[in-house]
Chains A and B, each alone.
Chain A
Amino acid sequence: MFTVIGFMFGGIILGYAIKNNRLNFISSIITTLIWLLLFILGIEVGSNQQIINGLATLGLEAIVITIAAVMGSCIAAWLLWYALYKRKKGGKA
């Protein structure tokens, strides 16, 4: 985990060092790598028999809890967002 963060800081330093050369292609590299990682995550889920079998039985329960957790935290985040940004700018985020 800290290795991954370390790579990011390395990138920040290098990116700052060469900031006179704008790297406009970097966002398409980021998008491609996100696709690759999601594809790999899919392979891991698809090839894990335990997860595939579990999806049928305990999966529904897990999804109910997850949706409740995500909605709860998003509503809480929206409250903070509203208090800090939206209210001051007259309804515009």
Chain B
Amino acid sequence: MKGSLIIVGFFALGCLTGLFNIIPFNISETNISFYALCALMFSVGLSIGNDPQTIKNFRALNPRLIFLPVMTILGTLAGTALASMVLTHRTMAECMAVGSGFGYYSLSSIFITEYKGAELGTVALLSNITREIITLLAAPLLVRWFGNLAPISSGGATTMDTTLPIITRYSGQEFVVVSIFHGFVVDFSVPFLVTFFCSI
């Protein structure tokens, strides 16, 4: 919980910094976050390779965990279908199209803007950014409430890169292979599912 609050704190501090233009240059035009991500992944790799437990853990991993991406996709679609009952001015297919971004906000919002217009495209952008943020911030809580697989499912398409460090931190390093595999499969499904739900 404390770890999560510190992370929220840094994110909020960043929002305020951006809002009031405290940093004199545009950080999204620099590669700082990319380099930091590379450094982070390198460190994650170091800790995996350096830990003699890791290889044992890989062998002990249940092969039936390959069903996890399917669970993620079905769970997300069921949840977003229910959400369409609350959001009465949106059709079920529109909500499911937004959900089919699985946190892959750049691609899904471009697709949805193309098929359904900028308004739903903006919803897709915000929703999928929020999904990534929720996964990053709530990972410790999700583990406590729904078990070690929950942050991976919640992370959707992002579990092979941006949310991988936080998953290894809170679900455990033995889930790193599942997380990358899961990210890969869900990532691949995004253009197909988004296109499908936009066309019905």
Contacts and interface: CB of A to CB of B under 8 A. Distances in A.
Interface of A: 1, 3-5, 7-19, 22-23, 26-27, 29-31, 33-48, 50-52, 54-55, 58-59, 61-82, 84-86, 93
Contacts of A45: 14-15, 18, 129
B68 interface: yes
A58 B98 CA distance: 13
Interface residues of B, number: 95
Interface centre among A26, A33, A59, A69 (most CB of B within 10 A): A69
Chain A interface, >50% SS class: helix
Q: Which 4 A-B pairs have the closest CB atoms?
A: A42-B14, A11-B45, A72-B79, A46-B18
Nearest to B156: A73
Contacts of B119: 58
A37 B36 contact: yes
B169 A65 contact: no
Contact of A73 (B3, B123, B133, B154): B154
A22 B53 CA distance: 12
B68 A33 contact: no
Interface string B25-67: 0111000110011111111111111111000000000101101
A65 B80 contact: yes
Given A34-B166, A41-B11, A58-B126, A74 B154 contact: yes
Interface of B: 3, 6-7, 10-21, 23, 26-28, 32-33, 36-52, 62, 64-65, 67-68, 71-72, 74-80, 82-83, 86-87, 90, 95, 98-99, 102, 119, 122-131, 133-136, 142, 145-150, 152-154, 156, 160-162, 164-166, 169, 180
B23 A77 contact: no
Given A72-B80, A93-B147, A39 B13 contact: yes
B12 to A, nearest CB: 7
A45 to B, nearest CB: 6
A80 B67 contact: yes
